[in-house]
Amino acid sequence: MIMPMTIRAIKKSEPSRIKAAMIRIGAIILALIASSLFILLLDLNPADVYMKMVQGAFGTAYRARETFVGAIPLVITSLGIAIAFRMQFWNIGGEGQIAMGAFAASFVALQMSYLPKPILLLLMILAGVLAGGIWALIPAFFKAQWGTNETIVTLMMNYIGLKWIMYLQYGPWKDPNSLGFPKIANFTDNAILPKLFGVHIGWVIALLLVAAIYIFLKHTKKGYEIAVIGESIDTARYAGINIKRTILIAILLSGGLCGLVGMIQASAVNNTLSVEVTGGIGYTAIITAWLASLSAPVILLVSILFAALLEGGSYIQTVFGIPQSAAQIMQGIILFFVLGSEFFVRYKFIFVKHQNPVEKEVR
């Protein structure tokens, strides 16, 4: 007689790095195989497509620069998201924090354009960080004071921030010289970040922040307190950690980094403020931070690879004449397998046999 059986997923003990790496490599191989099947349906050669994707991301100096320009905001936003996630504060509000950071930096750029470039850029950075931090502090305060759901609050505040930018773009900040087009005036040259090796100096800021956040989370008392709160609030309370203050400090830093991204994108990439300033970075950074297991050095690598995936996907649309949706399906397949591998890193399936009820009665 066949015994009834159920399948359960249970959490593994901490897996070794080798096993975790093997699972992730296996997921990448399966992703490439699945993507190859889809490419074959398009009557294309998978090897040619993958080669062109690599060329599209790194094939020339210009393409490599574009990939790094796309990776810079991902790196910094992911670092901010990682700080909040380490504390089990689910900050889904990166989009809104980027938008508000861009707004504050743009206000300084437009109103104080007479200042010397170093002073103006410094004020723009401070304004962006402060605005992003304050925007993140609102849901953090509610969470610390009344235990509200930060996921919902941060998500809803994204829409408020973006609609505020749209209001400015179509209303009071609309450039009268734009011939009726809803556009905010471009920044003056002294409000634009300089370039180094052909890429704006945001990449230098990103590298410095990777090192700083790694040290902060791994080798400082406050970083340890953030990790303890993430593991157990009761343990943190027993250890004498000031939970409310730690939450507020961590989220101020998390939102501040997202606000810094807003300043960088408005200044160095768009050269103005627009509703497209976020570009979905706040949501994409959730994926990259999670794939990197909230580790600052790994975030750098994952963000570059993710930016390369996006740039390569755009390139093959032109080379092979495939629609954007086809390239996005390929990107989605790869992400599905890579993200799915994280489940198997942390959990395993077990089969539980149940005694037949009839046999149980007989006994």
pLDDT digits (tens, 9 = 90+) for 287-326: 899 888 889 999 999 999 999 988 998 898 888 888 888 8
Per domain, the residue ranges of the chain are: 72-301
Of the chain, the percentage scoring pLDDT greater than 70 comes to 94
pLDDT in the model for residue 55:
92
Task: Report the pLDDT averaged over residues 316-344.
Answer: 84
**Nearest alpha carbon to residue 288 among 305, 304, 303:** 303
- pLDDT score at 6: 73
pLDDT at position 362 over 70:
no
Dihedral over Cα of 125, 127, 132, 137: its sign: positive
As given in the structure block, the two tokens for residue 53 are 């994707």
pLDDT at 259: 96
The pLDDT assigned to 3 comes to 56
Q: Which residues pair with 352 in a beta bridge?
A: 6
Strand partners, 9: 349
- Predicted local distance difference test score (pLDDT) of residue 358: 53
Confidence of residue 79 (pLDDT cuts 50, 70, 90): very high
SS (H, E, C) 119-138: HHHHHHHHHHHHHHHHHHHH
- Residue-level pLDDT at 338: 82
Name the band, by pLDDT with cuts 50, 70 and 90, for residue 4. low
User: 7 - beta bridge partners?
Assistant: 351
Evaluate if residue 1 carries a pLDDT over 70.
no
Predicted pLDDT at 339: 79
Q: Per residue in 147-163, pLDDT tens? A: 888 899 999 999 999 99
Q: Does the structure show a pLDDT above 80 at 337?
A: yes
Please determine, for residue 357, whether its predicted confidence score (pLDDT) is greater than 60. no
Asked if pLDDT for residue 331 goes beyond 70, the answer is yes
Counting DSSP H helices and E strands in the chain, the numbers are 14, 4
Split at pLDDT 50, 70, 90, the class of 103 is very high
Which residue type sits at 307?
A
Mean per-residue pLDDT of the chain: 88
